[in-house]
Chains A and B, each alone.
Chain A
Amino acid sequence: MKQILFISGKGGTGKTVITASFAVLNNKSIIADCDVDAACLHLLLNPQIIEKNIFIGRKKSEILQNKCKLCGKCFKVCVFNAVLKTKVDNDSKKNKYLINSLLCEGCGVCVWNCPESAIEFNAKEAGEWYVSKTEYGTFIHARLIPGEENSGKLVNVVKKIAKEKAIEEKSDLIIIDGPPGTGCPVICSLSGVDLAVIVTEPSVSGIYDMERVLELAQKFNVKCCVIINKYNLNLKKTQEIREYCEKRKIKILGIIPFSEEINQSVVMAKPAVLYCNNEIKKTLHSICEKIGEELK
């Protein structure tokens, strides 16, 4: 079984559009969306959810006000400034304490340092993950509750389920849409993949971000290829990307023009390869074939 991941460093370069088309052309693969805090792939695949599961996040502290003796130990030990100190009332010198759950890292240090055992420590729902049916194959996706942390852990869940489904369905390919950036969720997405396809665009930002994410993938010894999207917006920068990749022996799988039609395919919520004209369709087919060769 092979796993292929689409990433970019910079957001908005076209990862999701390309992933969806690749999934259409590799019908009956397992499809996974690892961009769990701003997922979009489902908008193109028209999934029918068949299984919905709760994702439990990290534990978080909560002070039981009726047990709290206002000693302030929690405030002192918390290095994340998640314990808020406020006056009990306007005249009083005493302080009361509250936990800001958005700042709480869930280390539990306040919990076992509280002399009154007045701090509860429970894991709460932090999101959901789904198994869906689509026309193009089984689709694993998720939704982190906005503002929550632990997106890396949820990425791991999505990948684990995708793998189980692939075994169950005897599918030999998992297609993964990755998150932007280079941090925790990207690192989790990269682990164990056979090929990372980096979707970039010919701009100073696109190039800078591609270089960083390439460096990351190579540090994890993941084989990388590049797709240049919207190449005709800046032919000079496209050439720069070509030279950069050539120097480092990174294969460019194809170049895709900036096209109003691709934009319209997103507006119509259709995979580009099914919506666009022959020329773009041909380009996507050719990229797909080349990826197949790289995966061999």
Chain B
Amino acid sequence: MIISVASGKGGTGKTMISVNLSDSLSEIVKTIFLDCDVEEPNSHLFLQPEITNTEDVNVIVPIIDKTKCIHCGKCQNVCEFNAILSFSKETLVLENLCHGCRGCIIVCPQSAISESKRKIGIIQKGKTKKNIEFINGILEVKEAMATPLIKKVIQKLDNLDDDDKTNYSVIIDCPPGTSCPMVNSIKISDYCILVTEPTPFGLSDLKLAVEVVNKLEIPFGVIINKADKNNSIIENYCQEKNIAILMKIPFDRDIAIKCSYGNLITEYKEEYKKNFKNLFNSILSQLKKN
């Protein structure tokens, strides 16, 4: 089963929950961890995987053969991203704006444009001490487009051919927000956990995230992190919309301090391990019912 951990608002505890969830699940099922927050990946700081493989991730960019180009401007005309500038004696590619759609390559009457590559980041693979298969993407700083890298990270699951979803768990740590990077991170999942906190900020962004999961028709539930006396802010909304509250993690200074050092809470609070295993089982049974 593929479970994505997302939220609209940043800093609600996505990474904290996804790393502790996978640490707990690795004791009962084969567990794979994907960090799709490629702009600011943090899960490796907690899971401490031993990286065994690093690969470059490239996107397609056009390269123009100056000896063949007649500067007809057709490539510029079809480019929706303004990534090609065509002058009477010069045609230029602005690589940072290119989305790699290959339109210019197809349209060029001189076959003067071919495919080249540009590195946008890396994907690392490794294993943790508890045998969690770990995969993360790291976007190059100054690179604007996170989505192509996220797609490549998700593609690493293509070889997963086990039909029985109860045999494994894939946990995806997602980027914050509600736009395309978040959509592409959760799209593949069988279930989405939305992490929120009991403040007006948490509620406002939870509502936006709910709109996205509903649009994608992904079953989901909510975890209230840093739960305190203000929980009703979230509870009332969930009740009204008939959304399952999967878990409440109370605000605890101890937890905050452990996390700030990159420690797992399951390592010192056994009850969390049990809670996360129960969470997995209740998600499984919730999915079976549907």
Determine the distance from Cα of A256 to Cα of B46 in the docked complex, in whole angstroms.
25
| Interchain nearest-CB distance for A121 vs B (Å) | 9
Determine the distance from Cα of A263 to Cα of B251 in the docked complex, in whole angstroms.
12
Cross-chain contact A37 with B144 (CB below 8 angstroms): no
B15 close to A (CB within 8 Å)? yes
Cross-chain contact B199 with A267 (CB below 8 angstroms): yes
B62 close to A (CB within 8 Å)? no
Interface string of A36-71 (1 = CB under 8 A from B): 011110010000000000000011000000000000
Given the complex, which residues of A lie within 8 Å of B245, measured CB to CB?
A: none
Determine the distance from Cα of A43 to Cα of B8 in the docked complex, in whole angstroms.
15
Interface string of B91-131 (1 = CB under 8 A from A): 00000000111110011000000000000000000000000
Given the complex, which residues of A lie within 8 Å of B39, measured CB to CB?
A: 9, 180-183, 186, 212
Cross-chain contact A263 with B199 (CB below 8 angstroms): yes
Cross-chain contact A37 with B253 (CB below 8 angstroms): no
Cross-chain contact A107 with B81 (CB below 8 angstroms): yes
Given the complex, which residues of B lie within 8 Å of A102, measured CB to CB?
A: 183, 187, 215-216
A219 close to B (CB within 8 Å)? yes
Cross-chain contact B42 with A183 (CB below 8 angstroms): no
Determine the distance from Cα of A179 to Cα of B208 in the docked complex, in whole angstroms.
15
| Interchain nearest-CB distance for B256 vs A (Å) | 5
CB within 8 Å of A: which B178-209 residues? 178-183, 187, 198-201, 204-205, 208-209
Cross-chain contact B80 with A108 (CB below 8 angstroms): yes
Given the complex, which residues of B lie within 8 Å of A244, measured CB to CB?
A: none
CB within 8 Å of B: which A247-275 residues? 258, 263, 266-267, 269
Cross-chain contact A267 with B183 (CB below 8 angstroms): no
Cross-chain contact A11 with B10 (CB below 8 angstroms): yes
| Interchain nearest-CB distance for A126 vs B (Å) | 10
* Nearest neighbor of B149 in chain A, beta-carbon distance: A183
A21 close to B (CB within 8 Å)? no
Categorize the interface residue count of chain B: 35 or more
Quick one: which of A10, A106, A219 contacts B11, CB cutoff 8 A?
A: A10
Given the complex, which residues of B lie within 8 Å of A146, measured CB to CB?
A: 8, 178-179, 208-209, 211-212, 215
B61 close to A (CB within 8 Å)? no
A215 close to B (CB within 8 Å)? yes
Cross-chain contact A12 with B177 (CB below 8 angstroms): no
| Interchain nearest-CB distance for B13 vs A (Å) | 8
Cross-chain contact B179 with A183 (CB below 8 angstroms): no
Determine the distance from Cα of A108 to Cα of B233 in the docked complex, in whole angstroms.
44
| Interchain nearest-CB distance for B126 vs A (Å) | 17
| Interchain nearest-CB distance for B184 vs A (Å) | 8
Cross-chain contact B45 with A204 (CB below 8 angstroms): yes
Given the complex, which residues of B lie within 8 Å of A234, measured CB to CB?
A: 257, 260-261
Cross-chain contact A16 with B201 (CB below 8 angstroms): yes
- Among B11, B12, B100, B182, max chain A CB count under 10 A is at B11
* Nearest neighbor of B101 in chain A, beta-carbon distance: A107
Given the complex, which residues of A lie within 8 Å of B107, measured CB to CB?
A: 112
Given the complex, which residues of A lie within 8 Å of B9, measured CB to CB?
A: 11-12, 38, 40
Determine the distance from Cα of A286 to Cα of B253 in the docked complex, in whole angstroms.
27
A233 close to B (CB within 8 Å)? yes
Of A90-98, A147-155, A165-173, the one touching chain B: A147-155
Cross-chain contact B177 with A208 (CB below 8 angstroms): no
A112 with B78, Cβ < 8 A, contacts A102-B216, A266-B201 known: yes
Interface string of B231-270 (1 = CB under 8 A from A): 0010000000000000000000100110111100000000
B49 close to A (CB within 8 Å)? no
Determine the distance from Cα of A184 to Cα of B120 in the docked complex, in whole angstroms.
13
* Nearest neighbor of A39 in chain B, beta-carbon distance: B204
* Nearest neighbor of A216 in chain B, beta-carbon distance: B141
A109 close to B (CB within 8 Å)? yes
Given the complex, which residues of A lie within 8 Å of B45, measured CB to CB?
A: 204-205, 208
CB within 8 Å of B: which A171-192 residues? 179-187
Cross-chain contact A181 with B40 (CB below 8 angstroms): yes
A105 close to B (CB within 8 Å)? yes
Quick one: which of A16, A79, A184, A215 contacts B145, CB cutoff 8 A?
A: A184
Determine the distance from Cα of A183 to Cα of B146 in the docked complex, in whole angstroms.
6
Given the complex, which residues of A lie within 8 Å of B253, measured CB to CB?
A: 233
A29 close to B (CB within 8 Å)? no
Given the complex, which residues of A lie within 8 Å of B99, measured CB to CB?
A: 105, 107
Cross-chain contact A184 with B256 (CB below 8 angstroms): no
* Nearest neighbor of B175 in chain A, beta-carbon distance: A181
A10 with B201, Cβ < 8 A, contacts A147-B179, A204-B261 known: no
Interface string of B36-75 (1 = CB under 8 A from A): 0101101001100000000000001000000000000000
A residues lining the B interface (CB < 8 Å): 9-13, 16, 37-40, 43, 58-59, 77, 79-80, 102, 105-109, 112-113, 144, 146-152, 179-187, 201-206, 208-209, 212-213, 215-216, 219-220, 233-234, 237, 258, 263, 266-267, 269
Apart from A148-B180, A209-B42, what are 15 other A-B pairs with CB-CB below 8 Å?
A10-B10, A11-B9, A37-B178, A107-B81, A109-B106, A112-B78, A147-B216, A180-B176, A185-B179, A186-B39, A201-B260, A205-B15, A215-B141, A234-B257, A267-B200
**What 5 pairs across the A-B complex have the smallest Cβ distances?**
A11-B10, A12-B11, A107-B101, A203-B260, A181-B39
